[in-house]
A and B are shown apart, each in its own frame.
Chain A
Amino acid sequence: MKRRFAAMAAAGAAAALVLTGCAGGGGGDNGDQPWTVAEDVTIEGSATFEAMQSAGQIVIGVKEDQPGLGYLDAATGERTGFDVDIARWMAAELGFGEDQIEFKAIPSANREQELVNGNIDMYVGTYSITDSRKEQIDFAGPYAITGQGLLVAADNDSINGPDDLAGTNVCSATGSTPIQNIRENYPEAKIQEFDTYSQCVAKIEDGSADAVTTDALILLGYAAQSPDTLKTVGDTFSEEIYGIGVPKGDDAFRDFLNTALEEGGETWTAIWDANLGETGVEGEQPAVDRY
């Protein structure tokens, strides 16, 4: 095994050069983005924007372990996904090109705190708009609407919706809302919990779990990545609306982002198609809610 690996490493060193060259199909920075970087942007009365301008860069919080939504390719260091591209688009509207964006991976539990502390200028990463979060931060958007869904192996025909879950192994993130929902409303399902969805997906692939449940959009991302082995099934059975997290009280900044979302319908569709189009699911941009 050792010898095999040594030989491969040698071959791989050469292959790496080729591979790094051609990666980046998913709406990267190779000049064919559906958005253009705006020039001479001004937002009156936005402290967040002023701070960004004087720093010469925008810091955006994202996820990095959700293929199709917010994903960091370990091999190339490139970020891809629907959320990441929405973030790039918003940055462009604000006048910041790819080289002026600093992405920061922040786990779900720390999102509000990072915005409150001013460590990030905005957060784009499967961030559901809720009233309790609105007490600490504000949301632009929504830019996507989803709900709890199910992901199963591509050859699984027995699970077509939450009613088929009785007696099956259902996996989700530890202590998450979707798993609570299953526990309360579908008590006959057997529950597995890991701290990332990727571990749950690995459990489907090794045959230990029958279904993964969480926001359908996240599941769609996994299905888009491995269409041969995974698929999403059934209608969503809850509603989650994703917004862009921004610092509390900066209404000028929030309005600017909302306007950009409202006026950029074509860009939105292009981003959807580039990242999640392969799943065959048609994306539909939700109306902005200027609360």
Chain B
Amino acid sequence: MGVITDNWDLWVDATVGTLQIFFFGLIIALVLGFIVGAMRVSPIPIARWVGTAYVNLVRNTPLTLMFFVFAFAVPVVFEIRDLRLLGILAIGLYTATYVAETLRSGINTVPVGQAEAARAVGMSFTQVMGHIVLPQAARSVIPPMMSVIIAFLKNTTVAAGFSIMNLGSIRAYLSERGENAMVVLLWVALVFVVMVFALSGVQRYLEKKWRVAR
């Protein structure tokens, strides 16, 4: 326990750092992911192509490389210099592709007949999506979306390599204070196990509540 109580300041900073990246990154990921997901199922071909290009480009790039782009290339090119903001953008834009794909798969789980029936009674694309498809898709999207969120939480540690304080970077600080790296890292791992299990619990609850009978 000494590792924690003696270095309370660092653990608080690190946890706050992780949660900051998590919450702000999540907002970007969800908003952008929703837009891109919508683009990928839209009737506008060019929008579909742009969405597809974005998803395939970013999803096949390692997150670490995304961080390199934002930490070292973006400051040179666009003169944005706040590292924390850049890190949040990097992970937000990366996770958005996963959000978009999860949404799209969710839409695809709604049986074809549902949309066809809606169209048969004369609904427009927006009506089909808004009244028929999305409400049904939402239920099947929530559990896998929680998985994306859990993976996202774990991915925040990658920011450690880019001068953004979070639970992943605490080892470097504490080994300088003479703490054993093994003990520190086991505590970090434990913190993540607790957070992930908590999120999994929420996921399980939602899944039970919104189980789609089909």
Interface residues, chain A, with chain B CB atoms under 8 Å away:
171, 174-177, 180, 192-195, 199, 202-203, 206-208
Contact = CB atoms under 8 A, between A and B. Distances in A.
Contact of A194 (B79, B163, B176): B163
Nearest to A207: B81
Nearest to B82: A208
A174 B172 contact: yes
A206 B76 contact: yes
Contacts of A193: 163, 169, 172
Nearest to B74: A206
Contacts of B76: 206
Contact of A206 (B72, B163, B173, B176): B72
Given A206-B72, A207-B79, A208-B81, A192 B163 contact: yes
A175 B172 contact: yes
Interface of B: 72, 75-76, 79, 81, 83, 161-163, 169, 172-173, 175-176
Given A174-B169, A192-B83, A206-B81, 5 more contacts: A177-B176, A180-B176, A194-B163, A199-B72, A208-B81
Contacts of B72: 199, 202, 206
Question: How would you classify the secondary structure of chain B's contact residues: helix, strand, loop or mixed?
Answer: helix
Question: How would you classify the secondary structure of chain A's contact residues: helix, strand, loop or mixed?
Answer: mixed
Contact of A175 (B81, B83, B161, B176): B176
Contacts of A194: 161-163
A109 to B, nearest CB: 10
Nearest to B169: A174
Contacts of B161: 194-195
A273 B76 CA distance: 34
Nearest to A206: B75
A194 B68 CA distance: 12
Contacts of B169: 174, 193
11 contacts: A174-B163, A174-B172, A175-B172, A175-B175, A180-B176, A192-B163, A199-B72, A203-B75, A206-B72, A206-B75, A206-B81
B73 to A, nearest CB: 9
Nearest to B160: A174
B163 A175 contact: no
A208 B82 CA distance: 8
Contacts of B162: 194
The 8 closest A-B pairs by CB, nearest first: A175-B172, A206-B75, A208-B81, A175-B176, A174-B172, A192-B163, A206-B76, A193-B163
A254 B163 CA distance: 40
